[in-house]
Structure 1
Amino acid sequence: MTSQSLTLGYVPGGTPAKWARIWAERHPGVPLELVGVATADAAAAVRDGDVDVALLRLPADTSGLAVIPLYEETTVVVVPTDHVLSAADELTTADLDGEPTLLPLDDVVAWVDAPGNPVDHRPETTKDAIELVAAGMGALIVPQSLARLYHRKDLTYRPIVDAPTCPVVLAFPEGPQPELVEEFIGIVRGRKPGSSRGQAQPAPKRTAREKTLAKQAARAAAGKVARKPGRAQRGRR
């Protein structure tokens, strides 16, 4: 590894900590720079070279990029803590029928025919929409990570069991990758230390004759130990 660095972009609610920790353990001399990127700009940031790799949500314009699926986020609805919907542990789309809902301009769920009645005003961002939920203007449907990111004591969220999930992927430019990017991809894919290039060759297997000779030597050594006289035996001679 060289003294270069690797830049990892991630969208709001993205959780790069696990891979950053593993990277730091395996490559302490190579900094991993974490850069927050707006959801709408994440794919372009990779294409333009602003970041080397990025955690981003689908759907997104991933033309020119290769992607590795990471996980599927649960879709939830955010409501005030005293809202009637907070009484249940989980909800269905039918529970949201007729419910006023907020649809921010940076919406990432992309749920066609989502339940509820969208209010006329569209807040600029999800963070702005959270403020409006607290003001009682409507409910907000988001990935669970965003509900956690913008958590407030006066708000809560419930999973929507029949809602589409929100896929999160690792994106990087198509084609051959620099060594550092390949190393990070290996970490994301769960490759163990030493399983990449430069892995030490395994010890050669012993032949059948070598195994037989080793067993015979072990038995002979065991026999000598068993026949070795103790003090009492030597005293009788």
Structure 2
Amino acid sequence: MAHTGRGGARRTGTPQRAPRKQAAPKRDRAPREQPPAPEPPRTFRLGVVPGATPGKWIDRWRERLPHVTLELVPLEVATQREPIDTGDVDAALIRLPIDPQDLHVIRLYDETAVVVASIDSALTAADELDPDDLAGEVVIVPRDDVLGPIPLPGTEAPRFEPPETTADAIATVAAGVGIVIVPMSLARLHHRRDITYRPLRGAPASTVALAWHADRTTPDVDAFVGIVRGRTSNSSR
């Protein structure tokens, strides 16, 4: 039954519905970021002269760049520049001096020179030796010598042809003939039970350096430079 309210307005018993709210327009979802594509495996070739010790740097390399294989390439000091020039190695641990033209070179460390002698030699009585202590000794200089001429007054030259390699020279010393002067790392590399060595005061040091061709400074070379310089994985250049 309809009722008449004030002013004659007619009301019915059916309630009026509230207008529907319009649905908010759907927002476009931001596209999910895709993870970076994994880098393809590759190889970093590092030349190494005898006696150089890159072990701690290799460990850090494998931690930071596990997808890049580090391959060690043995070098001879006499021809250490050649594989850098030809691109056979990406970088190299070399011994100075080296012609720096077209190269980047970073000095890493100096090695003490030592006298390698037979374990029965009287020279082993001292913990260190002076050049004067070597008077009367036969000094063998192998063809692959890395120290260069060392003034040693009173010493003698051998009466035989120079050995081809440091290993050959040390084998001769072990037989009780003469002495040889080398960087400490080479004495350790060719160590035998029948020889020993003592530091030689005043002798020139042998400097190990990192070198690479100036035209081939790749991200991998930069990464290795950062490792040898002690930069962390988060530090900037």
Bin the TM-score by the shorter chain.
0.7 to 0.9
Question: What displacement does 1:189 show?
Answer: 1.1
Is the Cα–Cα contact under 8 Å of residues 102 and 122 in structure 1 kept in the other structure?
Answer: yes
In structure 1, what is the equivalent of residue 105 of structure 2? 67
Question: Secondary structure at the residue paired with 1:12?
Answer: coil
Question: What displacement does 1:175 show?
Answer: 4.3
C-alpha distance in 2, partners of 1:20/1:42? 20
Q: Please, what TM-score do these two structures have when normalized by structure 2?
A: 0.79
Indicate yes or no: 2:102 matched with 1:25. no
Question: What displacement does 1:96 show?
Answer: 1.1
C-alpha distance in 2, partners of 1:15/1:45? 19
Question: How many aligned residue pairs are there?
Answer: 197
Q: Please, what TM-score do these two structures have when normalized by structure 1?
A: 0.79
Indicate yes or no: 2:174 matched with 1:118. no
The change in CA–CA distance for 1:127 and 1:62 in structure 2 (over 3 A counts) is farther
Question: What displacement does 1:63 show?
Answer: 3.0
Question: Secondary structure at the residue paired with 2:52?
Answer: coil
Q: Among all aligned residue pairs of Structure 1 and Structure 2, give the percentage whose two residues are the same amino acid.
A: 50
In structure 1, what is the equivalent of residue 5 of structure 2? none
Per-residue CA distance 1:193-217 (angstroms, 9 max, x = gap): 11137xxxxxxxxxxxxxxxxxxxx
Indicate yes or no: 2:126 matched with 1:88. yes
Per-residue CA distance 1:141-189 (angstroms, 9 max, x = gap): 0000000000000100000021111111001112461111111111111
Indicate yes or no: 2:191 matched with 1:159. no
Q: Which amino acid aligns with 1:170?
A: L
Is the Cα–Cα contact under 8 Å of residues 90 and 216 in structure 2 kept in the other structure?
Answer: no
Is the Cα–Cα contact under 8 Å of residues 105 and 122 in structure 1 kept in the other structure?
Answer: yes
Structure 1 unaligned blocks of 5 or more: 198-237
In structure 2, what is the equivalent of residue 50 of structure 1? 88
The change in CA–CA distance for 1:12 and 1:176 in structure 2 (over 3 A counts) is closer
C-alpha distance in 2, partners of 1:93/1:21? 39
Alignment of 1:1-237 (within 5 A): 2-114=40-152, 116-120=155-159, 121-175=161-215, 177-196=217-236
Give the helix-richer structure, 1 or 2.
1
Q: Which amino acid aligns with 1:94?
A: D
